[in-house]
């Protein structure tokens, strides 16, 4: 294995932090004062970007990047597949004298035109009209990415079509930030806040991942092509000893994490926490929160860097939600809140009566939004990989509910019943007049089974898939909360008694949306029954979640707030369904290949060897153990028969699935028919793995993948 190659000569973290990021400090240093100020105003949304400003910024970015070794630049964007994409151009322009000049114009900074015909547009852009544009997102800093042979300047951009439709995940996210900003400001103003000029949704995504030995990874076509294992019998030891969670970090992993942190810090990503997770060889890294837009970009970058650094250490990072059956999978916990530009967290219960009323209003907005639009939140946390996690006793069930903690729930309950509440100083709580009782800050009360948990001053959306972009969950949180805040603003702006109106809003929320509050164990089977009784939607799979996008509540919400048009929603509907079917199609294809060309030949070889041994021993006159060995071989052949037959069934179902013309019906077919057929094949293959001599098994097993690094 290659030794880690982090640059540990550098001792000053201050120097390291952000050295590869064109952040605020660098901008202040490199830009003329007036331009810097102007750019800040543009970032705040108070002014439009002009080509003159772009020219000056481009020139400064270019000098900075070239000084640090960059030869190329790239607009970096997030197409609807959820990956990131880029197209590189070099800075060179040939000059008349046979030499070159290095150029990067304002126009090149602002707008790019990748040959975008192959990115999925879900029908928004016909391929003959292939033009898609990338536009500089001034609020997300440019950065330098090093590879083995050079450095590239990357510029975070939004990606849209010639006619202005969003072709990526960022455009709707930016629009949703606007929507929640406008709505929250209206509420704040109505409540008498005169200082806040902007409200910014904030996010801190915790990222889980697995590390496996690269040598083993390379020997498994399933990992290589699908990111998950399609076979693998449970090893004699799993996660039952619970000795991995928060356990001592192995030396090799510690080396990896050190380099990961250095890379992230150099990019200006504030990696803060790291630890072992529940499953063997599973880990987590979390940054300090920032605006949802930057946090989403940085999370995307973090996933890239995790993979890059892992490969330098002879490891492979798996970001898939469920790489190993029977072992906990990975999630991305999206912590979310709303902050004002003057530094207040709107979900922080304050000390003063005024702040508490504000807190309860914003809290109520999230409660109502989650109940009213629960299918959309559910959709935003769905993909094929996550279907294997949600409801599997390791992640929340596929039902949106909110954990508030018993104290806060009791306060809301009493308020809604007009009962008196004792405040901290012994007085009775009167909204807007006295302070709330102190809420316990202790996270011991933390509920790890809730999909959307209030954790003292933010919500933790725990359902999000590990491999997915954080853009959609944040877009849905921003938009749904914006909608409810607008409704509150309508009421508050027309009220002549703010305190009464606020009180009524809070009461109404608890009365009408109490069903979404659940402080119990979300993993228990009883909860699913209880949730159904409460009338909460139970949307079991991705295929069931996607059609929610085209139902009227979604269309009304997103169009009303200008976040996504009907066409943009239809495009996403199409792409998500296609992606789902494609993914299962690939998995099934890989499975068929591995069974046909690796497992079956291995079983035949081993069986022949066994049979030959039995025959030889028998002709030598040996009787002991022969009948037992024959019986074992018989069992192997029974499994072999099961495997062969189920393989035939899978092939037939896959062929049927591929022939279904309608996208939704096809995705349903993959979900309902192909997946169960795959499970059958796996069942026999895993039983055979346990019965065949290790040397004969064609690829590394769970013991290798989960316990050896
Ligand atoms: P815990 O580890 O108990 O879940 P932390 O305070 O460490 O809690 O937070 C976990 C994540 O939540 C971190 O990424 C953190 O930056 C983020 N976070 C904290 N406060 C906020 C907030 N106001 N808005 C968004 N994310 C936040
Ligand atoms: Mg957490």
Q: Which tens digits make up the pLDDT trace of 637-664?
A: 999 999 999 999 999 999 999 999 999 9
Q: Is the CB of 483 under 6 A from ligand 1?
A: no
- State in Å: Cα 409 to ligand 2 middle: 20
C-beta 442 within 6 A of ligand 1: no
Q: Do residues 118 and 80 touch, judged by C-beta distance below 8 A?
A: no
Rounded to the nearest angstrom, the distance between the alpha carbon of 127 and the centre of ligand 1 is 42
Closest atom of ligand 1 relative to the 206 alpha carbon: 14
pLDDT single digits (tens) 493-535: 999 999 899 989 999 999 999 999 999 988 888 999 999 999 9
Query: How far is residue 550's CA from residue 567's CA, in Å, rounded to a whole number?
Result: 10
Q: Look over the chain and give the mean of its residue pLDDT values, rounded to a whole number.
A: 90
pLDDT recorded at residue 132: 78
For residue 3, the model assigns a pLDDT of: 42
C-beta separation of 150 from 69 below 8 A: yes
Closest approach atom of ligand 1 to CA 288 = 16
- Ligand 1 center from residue 123 Cα (angstroms): 38
Cβ–Cβ < 8 Å for 152, 70:
yes
pLDDT of 84: 85
> Which residue is associated with the tokens 């880029």?
86
Task: Supply the pLDDT for residue 111.
Answer: 86
In tens, the pLDDT along 613-623 reads: 999 999 999 99
pLDDT of residue 23 exceeding 60? yes
Establish whether residue 203 lines the binding site of ligand 1, counting it when its CB lies within 6 angstroms of any ligand atom: yes
**Closest ligand 1 atom, CA of 204?**
14
Decide: 443 in ligand 1 pocket, CB within 6 A. Answer: yes
Q: Whose CA is nearest to atom 19 of ligand 1?
A: 289
Is pLDDT at 69 greater than 50 in this prediction?
A: yes
**Confidence band, pLDDT 50/70/90 cuts, at residue 675:** very high
Share of the chain above pLDDT 90, in %: 73
C-alpha pair distances (Å), 695 with each of 182, 686, 699, 701: 64, 16, 9, 11
What length does the chain have?
Answer: 709
Q: Give the ligand 1 atom nearest the CA of 347.
A: 23
Q: Is the CB of 201 under 6 A from ligand 1?
A: no
Whether 130 shows a pLDDT value over 60: the answer reads: no
Q: Which residue has the higher pLDDT, 10 or 32?
A: 32
**411: closest CA among 424, 393, 425, 399?**
424
336 alpha carbon to ligand 2 midpoint, in Å?
11
C-alpha pair distances (Å), 223 with each of 210, 313, 389, 590: 12, 18, 18, 10
**Residue 270 beta carbon below 6 angstroms from any ligand 1 atom:** no
What would the mean pLDDT of 5-26 be, rounded to a whole number?
79
Beta bridge pairs of residue 211? 317
Q: Which contiguous run of DSSP H or E holds residue 559?
A: helix 552-560
Distance 106 CA to ligand 2 centre (A): 41
pLDDT score for 240: 66
DSSP type of residue 625: T
CA nearest neighbour of 23 among 179, 156, 218: 156
Q: Taking a C-beta distance cutoff of 8 angstroms, is the pair 77, 86 a contact?
A: yes
Q: Is 337 touching ligand 1 by the criterion CB < 6 Å?
A: yes
Q: In this structure, what token pair is assigned to residue 242? A: 């619970």
How far, in Å, from the CA of 284 to the mean position of ligand 1?
A: 13
Residue 671 has pLDDT above 80, yes or no: yes
Ligand 1 neighbourhood includes 613 CB (under 6 angstroms): no
Q: Is the dihedral of CA 197, 201, 204, 209 positive or negative?
A: negative
> Which ligand 1 atom sits closest to the C-alpha of 205?
14
Question: Do the Cβ atoms of 660 and 630 come closer than 8 Å?
Answer: no
Ligand nearest the Cα of residue 333 is: 2
Rounded Cα distance between 208 and 508, Å, is: 38
The DSSP line for 563-606 is: S--HHHHHHHHHHHHHHHHHHHHHHHHHHHHHIIIIIHHHHHHH
pLDDT at 149: 80
Extract long-range pairs of 644-649: CB within 8 Å, 24+ residues apart: 644/600, 646/677, 646/680, 646/681, 646/683, 646/684, 647/592, 647/595, 647/596, 647/681, 649/677, 649/680
Cα–Cα distance measured from residue 105 to residue 89, given in angstroms and rounded to the nearest whole number: 12
* pLDDT, average across residues 696-709: 93
Residue 164 CB burial class (10 angstroms; 0-12, 13-18, ≥19):
exposed
206 lines ligand 1 (CB under 6 A): yes
* 364 close to ligand 1 (CB < 6 Angstrom): no
pLDDT of residue 12: 86
- The pLDDT score that the predictor gives to residue 443 is 44
Q: What is the pLDDT of residue 9?
A: 52
Q: Ligand 1 within 6 A of 441 CB?
A: no
Distance 335 CA to ligand 1 centre (A): 6
Give the range among 239-243, 403-407, 558-562 with minimum mean pLDDT.
Answer: 239-243
Q: Which residue has the higher pLDDT, 361 or 117?
A: 361
User: Which of 206, 264, 269, 289 most suits a substitution to test ligand 1, by most atoms within 8 Å of the C-beta?
Assistant: 289
Burial class of 529 by CB neighbour count within 10 A (0 to 12, 13 to 18, 19+) = exposed
Q: Render pLDDT for 166-211 as a digit per residue (tens, 0 to 9).
A: 889 999 999 999 999 999 999 999 999 999 999 999 999 999 999 9
| Residue 435 pLDDT > 90 | no
Phi/psi-derived region of residue 242, left when phi > 0, alpha when psi is between -120 and 50, beta in every other case:
left
344-373 pLDDT tens trace:
999 998 777 677 889 999 999 999 999 999
Residue 445 has pLDDT above 60, yes or no: no
As a whole number of angstroms, the distance between CA 276 and CA 279 comes to 8
pLDDT value of position 85: 83
Q: Which of 180, 245, 335 to mutate to test the pocket of ligand 1 (most atoms within 8 A of CB)?
A: 335
How many CA atoms does the CB half-sphere of 533 hold within 13 Å? 5
Cα of 661 to ligand 1 centre, how many Å?
45
pLDDT value at 8 more than 80? no
Residue 622 CB contacts under 8 Å (≥ 6 apart), including other chains: none
Does residue 305 carry a pLDDT above 70? yes
Beta-bridged to residue 517, according to DSSP, are: 402
pLDDT at position 1: 38
Q: Which residue has the tokens 């219960």?
A: 349
The residue assigned the tokens 């003063």 is 352
The pLDDT assigned to 2 comes to: 40
Rounded Cα–Cα distance for residues 617 and 620 (Å): 5
For the CA of 203, the nearest atom of ligand 1: 25
Which two tokens mark 447? 């509920």
C-alpha distances out from residue 262 to 19, 265, 304, 306, Å: 10, 5, 14, 11
SS (H, E, C) 390-440: ECCCCECCCCCCEECCHHHHHHHHHHHCCCCCECCCCCECCCCCCCCCCCC
**pLDDT score for 405:** 87
Q: Could you identify the atom of ligand 1 that is nearest to the CA of residue 287? A: 14
> Three-class SS string for 666-685?
HHHHHHHHHHHHHHHHHHHH
Q: Which residues contact 9 (CB under 8 A, 6 or more apart)?
A: none
Distance 459 CA to ligand 2 centre (A): 10
Question: What's residue 393's pLDDT?
Answer: 82
Nearest to 313 by CA among 6, 30, 681: 6
C-alpha to C-alpha distance for 614 and 629, rounded to whole angstroms: 7
- What pLDDT band is residue 438 in, cutting at 50, 70 and 90? low
* Residue 284 Cβ contacting ligand 1 at under 6 Å: no
d(CA 582, CA 670) in angstroms, rounded, equals: 9
pLDDT tens figures, 526-569? 999 999 999 999 999 999 999 999 999 999 999 999 999 999 99
Alpha carbon 637 to chain centroid, angstroms: 43
Which pair of structure tokens corresponds to residue 75? 């607009």
- More reliable by pLDDT, 276 or 586: 586
Nearest-angstrom CA–CA distance, 321 and 207: 11
Cβ atoms of 686 and 231 closer than 8 Å: yes
Report which DSSP code applies to 102: E
Cα(414)–Cα(626) distance, integer angstroms: 75
The residue whose CA is least distant from atom 11 of ligand 1 is 204
Q: Quote the ligand 2 centre to 407 CA distance (angstroms).
A: 20
CA distance 380 to 376: 6
Alpha carbon distance 127, 338 (integer Å): 39
Ligand 1 within 6 A of CB of 299: no
pLDDT at 353: 66
Question: Among 231, 204, 125, 206, which residue's Cα sits nearest to residue 168?
Answer: 125
* pLDDT (tens digit per residue) in 258-303: 999 999 999 999 999 888 877 889 999 999 999 999 999 999 999 9
Q: Which residue from 123, 117, 77 is spatially nearest to 569, judged by alpha carbons? A: 123
Q: Is 286 in the pocket of ligand 1 (CB under 6 A)?
A: yes
Collect all residues with Cβ–Cβ distance below 8 Å to 312 and sequence separation of at least 6: 2, 4, 5, 259
């Amino acid at each position: 294995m290659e030794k880690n190659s982090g640059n540990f000569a550098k001792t000053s973290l201050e120097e390291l932090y952000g050295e590869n990021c064109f952040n605020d400090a660098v901008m202040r240093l490199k830009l003329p004062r007036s331009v810097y100020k102007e750019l800040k105003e543009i970032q705040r949304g108070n002014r439009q970007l002009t080509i003159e400003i772009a020219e000056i910024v481009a020139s400064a970015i270019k000098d900075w990047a070239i000084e640090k070794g960059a030869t190329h630049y790239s607009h970096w964007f997030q197409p609807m597949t959820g990956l990131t994409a880029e197209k590189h151009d070099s800075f060179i322009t040939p000059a008349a004298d046979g030499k070159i000049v290095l150029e990067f114009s304002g126009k090149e900074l602002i707008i790019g035109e990748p040959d975008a015909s192959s990115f999925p547009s879900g029908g928004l852009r016909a391929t003959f009209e292939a033009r898609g544009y990338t536009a500089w997102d001034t609020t997300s800093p440019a950065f330098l990415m090093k590879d083995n042979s050079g450095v590239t300047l990357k510029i975070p951009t939004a990606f849209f079509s010639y006619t202005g439709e969003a072709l990526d995940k960022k455009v709707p996210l930016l629009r949703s930030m606007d929507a929640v900003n406008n709505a929250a400001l209206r509420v704040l103003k109505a409540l008498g806040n005169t200082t806040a000029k902007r409200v910014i949704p904030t996010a801190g995504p915790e990222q889980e991942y697995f590390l496996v030995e690269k040598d083993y990874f390379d020997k498994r076509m399933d990992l290589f092509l699908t990111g998950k294992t399609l076979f693998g019998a449970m090893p004699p030891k799993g996660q039952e000893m619970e000795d991995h969670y928060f356990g001592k970090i192995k030396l090799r992993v510690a080396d990896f994490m050190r380099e990961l942190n250095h890379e992230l810090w150099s990019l200006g990503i504030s990696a803060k926490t790291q630890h072992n997770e529940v499953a063997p060889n599973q880990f987590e890294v979390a940054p300090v929160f920032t605006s949802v837009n930057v946090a989403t970009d940085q999370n995307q970058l973090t996933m890239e860097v995790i993979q890059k650094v892992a490969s330098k250490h002879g490891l492979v990072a798996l970001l898939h939600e469920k790489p190993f059956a029977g072992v906990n999978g990975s999630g991305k916990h999206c912590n979310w809140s709303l902050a004002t530009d003057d530094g207040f967290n709107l979900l922080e219960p304050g000390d003063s009566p005024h702040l508490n009323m504000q807190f309860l209003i914003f809290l109520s907005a999230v409660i109502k939004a989650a109940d009213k639009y629960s299918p959309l939140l559910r959709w935003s946390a769905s993909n094929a990989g996550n279907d294997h996690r949600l409801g599997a006793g390791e992640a929340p069930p596929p039902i949106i509910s909110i954990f508030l903690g018993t104290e806060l729930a009791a306060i809301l309950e009493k308020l809604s019943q007009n009962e008196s509440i004792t405040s901290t100083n012994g007085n009775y709580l009167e909204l807007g007049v006295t302070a709330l009782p102190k809420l316990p800050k202790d996270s011991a009360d933390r509920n790890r089974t809730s999909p959307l948990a209030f954790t003292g001053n933010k919500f933790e959306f725990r359902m999000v898939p590990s491999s997915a972009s954080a853009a959609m969950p944040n877009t849905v949180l921003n938009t749904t909360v914006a909608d409810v805040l607008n409704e509150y603003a309508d009421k508050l702006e027309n009220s002549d008694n703010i305190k009464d109106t606020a009180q009524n809003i809070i009461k109404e929320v608890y009365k009408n949306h109490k069903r979404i509050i659940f402080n119990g164990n979300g993993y228990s089977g009883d909860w699913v029954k209880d949730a159904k009784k409460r009338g909460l939607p139970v949307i079991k799979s991705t295929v069931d979640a996607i059609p929610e996008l085209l139902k009227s509540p979604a269309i009304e919400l997103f169009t009303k707030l200008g976040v996504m048009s009907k066409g943009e929603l239809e495009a996403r509907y199409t792409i998500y369904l296609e992606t789902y079917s494609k993914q299962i199609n690939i998995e099934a294809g890989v499975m068929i290949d591995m069974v046909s060309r690796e497992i079956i030949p291995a079983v035949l070889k081993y069986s022949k060897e066994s049979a030959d041994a039995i025959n030889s021993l028998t002709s030598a006159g040996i009787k002991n153990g022969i009948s037992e060995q024959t019986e074992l071989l018989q069992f192997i052949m029974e499994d072999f028969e099961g495997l062969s037959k189920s393989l035939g069934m899978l092939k037939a179902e896959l062929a049927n699935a591929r022939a279904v013309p309608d996208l939704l019906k096809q995705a349903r077919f993959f979900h309902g028919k192909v997946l169960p057929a795959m499970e059958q094949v796996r069942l026999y293959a895993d039983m055979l793995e346990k019965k065949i001599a290790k040397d004969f098994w064609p690829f590394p097993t769970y013991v290798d993948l989960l316990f050896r690094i």
